[in-house]
Structure 1
């Protein structure tokens, strides 16, 4: 058995953040039952361009492999009855909706405890279910601005800059997945469930980490740095070579000694014995002078030539790859970081694997479900409904307006 094969999650999830969190649980064996609203065509991620076909897209495939789908209108009395039966048969209810929506839909612990006292209600929202922004929609781009990330990113003097990836969404999904697992563990131990009130805002502020601590305790004012330089470790940034860019970092004094010795031998600098650069503090105080020398040195050779010397010396470094190069990197291949699923329209879909590794058994992967593809399994196998019961629910609008 895979680690989470005995965990069932009813998920009212959509787009990126929520599905990104639960896809890792699904890869670990958890049964993720996506409840999709038939009135809106289900998860909006199904329709994200440019690679979209009908009610499916490569965006949707990215976040929903190994899951199941049922179309269910939880706002209709008949649909609510089915949802409550799913709550009885599950360990957690997982959602990523606006902060005031869990109460409106009745998916908090106080709403569901009478149905299943051990249910864990994990809500990932933009701003949480409390506070002055609770009823505001929260999106990664907005949160990167609010939490100070965009002011920290980019070149000095340039405009506020967003990360190239939706890191608040993805980090929030992982935070929610951790909380859900902790909640399920506690519920199994104690027999009592709970709410897990997670938010993208909390995640984004929490990830300010040491710059926030420096500011709160020492009055530190973060500034943007040239060439993405580390705010305190010098050197640790990107450098331009003859044909591209590379990252070189000296997070320990031994790395600086190795780099200085190498550069003195290859680029003709005189760094190793220079007292201005002897320690972390010295290099930070004389950063302008040192970085100018390093930039001149690295510009004299190609990226490959530098890496051929830097890597054997054990100096932290790497090329600045584009996406294609990153996916084709020999280490990506060796670690099995691209997985494949078969799809009726897109053919073989290749996508990044989950980085979560538990044990050594290979992880099987199944394409993302078509909307309502698993209705038969959910209604008959999970809930034990017979055909008469399903027909009555259908007529009552449980699965959308009756034909």
Structure 2
């Protein structure tokens, strides 16, 4: 294991995490893993009718993976005292992250204008389904709804399958990462200006941004993207093929790789075949080309083809199940899985940050907090006495 510095890259920063579900916690997880003091703020039991949807299985892998390295505070924001405590916390914070619907933050006095009056250096990061204003601003937005409205489902699957959702929460996860980039950019700008600012992004905009070249094809060339199954829409041969013992992916892009493939498979005559003379021609004649390749690949194993093709600098790789991917030697070498260890020594496997800072790397120092686990400690840091904390708890403020 690498040696972790006791001071992460973001040590000294305080982040208030008011977010739920996935996009917000994804943003905050990055800040927490790199050393920020993150306080996850949740309502006391019974205050929020949707509580079980967000954290019904706190010991489950999903909740632990999203919320490790955070401290836990319960706060009833439906009470004046709860709002007062939150405002007091804001005066100590560098960043506040929330994913309420836009009107909720104004009602709670958590809009940027109010927060900046309390703390001019604070950065408010707001994540929403559809944006902070506009005709859809008050709509609730879940990942699958946005995958549909953001065009992704129209591109996923095979032509005959109809719209198909991606197997992961693309809109949620990408929005969380975009929000984290925005927060870090605002923190860097604050060094020179001394001022915070409002950072906001939406699942809808993020999902459309993730379409990337598919959206650009339509906007610039007027080409309407369609589902292509496992084939790449604009390059060939690039897709999945069946070997004698399973499936593998092949990716060929550019003249050099095409020539290498022809030589490696012993079919130099393809280089002079008009059907395959250019990438455009290969895309147009993909069915014939794939059939030729399939007749070759089905004669030997996945391991044989992956080794042979990679030796010739042709991208190829097996298609793993989730259990198989975690057994891969390179995955193990990268340290993709790390442990969050509880106080009683119980180890919870989580996914490490995929970006490495050599001098100040991310670290997994604690599992997700129990509900309100650090409430007393955090309030004591704010100057609340033990008797006052007991009074707040008996009044269901915490």
Calculate the TM-score normalised by the size of structure 1: 0.91
| Aligned 1:10-159 pairs, distance under 5 A | 10-38=16-44, 39-40=47-48, 44-47=53-56, 52=57, 55-159=58-162
Give yes or no for contact 1:45–1:59 (8 Å, CA) kept in 2.
Answer: no
Deviation at 1:218, TM superposition (A): 2.0
- Structure 1 segments (4+ residues) deviating >6 Å: none
User: Corresponding residue for 1:223?
Assistant: 226
1:5 matched to 2:8: no
Cα distance in structure 1, aligned partners of 2:43 and 2:23: 18
Give yes or no for contact 1:16–1:45 (8 Å, CA) kept in 2.
Answer: no
* 94-103 or 69-78: bigger deviation: 94-103
User: Corresponding residue for 1:332?
Assistant: 331
List gaps (5 residues or longer) in structure 2: 1-6
User: Corresponding residue for 2:376?
Assistant: 376
Give yes or no for contact 1:112–1:119 (8 Å, CA) kept in 2.
Answer: yes
RMSD of the alignment, in Å? 2.0
Q: Secondary structure at the match of 2:275?
A: helix
Cα distance in structure 2, aligned partners of 1:97 and 1:302: 51
Cα distance in structure 1, aligned partners of 2:101 and 2:344: 33
Q: Secondary structure at the match of 1:368?
A: coil
Give yes or no for contact 1:99–1:136 (8 Å, CA) kept in 2.
Answer: no
Deviation at 1:396, TM superposition (A): 4.7
Q: Secondary structure at the match of 1:124?
A: strand
Give yes or no for contact 2:340–2:364 (8 Å, CA) kept in 1.
Answer: no
Deviation at 1:346, TM superposition (A): 10
Cα distance in structure 1, aligned partners of 2:203 and 2:210: 11
Deviation at 1:142, TM superposition (A): 0.6
User: Corresponding residue for 2:242?
Assistant: 240
CA offsets, 1:73-107, max 9 Å, x none? 12211111110110000001101222332222222
| Aligned 1:249-268 pairs, distance under 5 A | 249-264=251-266
Cα distance in structure 2, aligned partners of 1:44 and 1:19: 14
Q: 1:371 to 1:222 in 2, by over 3 A?
A: same
The counterpart of 2:206, out of the listed 203, 206, 216, is: 203
User: Corresponding residue for 1:365?
Assistant: 365
1:291 matched to 2:290: yes
Cα distance in structure 1, aligned partners of 2:162 and 2:296: 29
User: Corresponding residue for 1:175?
Assistant: 178
**Number of residue pairs matched?**
388
Q: Secondary structure at the match of 1:145?
A: helix
Give yes or no for contact 1:261–1:272 (8 Å, CA) kept in 2.
Answer: no
User: Corresponding residue for 2:3?
Assistant: none
Q: 1:56 to 1:364 in 2, by over 3 A?
A: closer
| Aligned 1:269-348 pairs, distance under 5 A | 270-343=269-342, 347-348=346-347
Deviation at 1:42, TM superposition (A): 5.4
Cα distance in structure 2, aligned partners of 1:181 and 1:395: 39
Give yes or no for contact 2:17–2:40 (8 Å, CA) kept in 1.
Answer: yes
CA offsets, 1:238-277, max 9 Å, x none? 111122111111122111111111111xxx6842443432
Give yes or no for contact 2:19–2:100 (8 Å, CA) kept in 1.
Answer: yes
Calculate the TM-score normalised by the size of structure 2: 0.92
Cα distance in structure 1, aligned partners of 2:220 and 2:306: 39
Q: Secondary structure at the match of 2:270?
A: coil
Cα distance in structure 2, aligned partners of 1:68 and 1:180: 20
Give yes or no for contact 1:99–1:127 (8 Å, CA) kept in 2.
Answer: no
Q: Secondary structure at the match of 2:118?
A: coil
Q: Secondary structure at the match of 1:33?
A: strand
Cα distance in structure 2, aligned partners of 1:312 and 1:273: 24
Cα distance in structure 2, aligned partners of 1:246 and 1:163: 19
Q: Secondary structure at the match of 1:351?
A: strand
Cα distance in structure 1, aligned partners of 2:280 and 2:72: 57
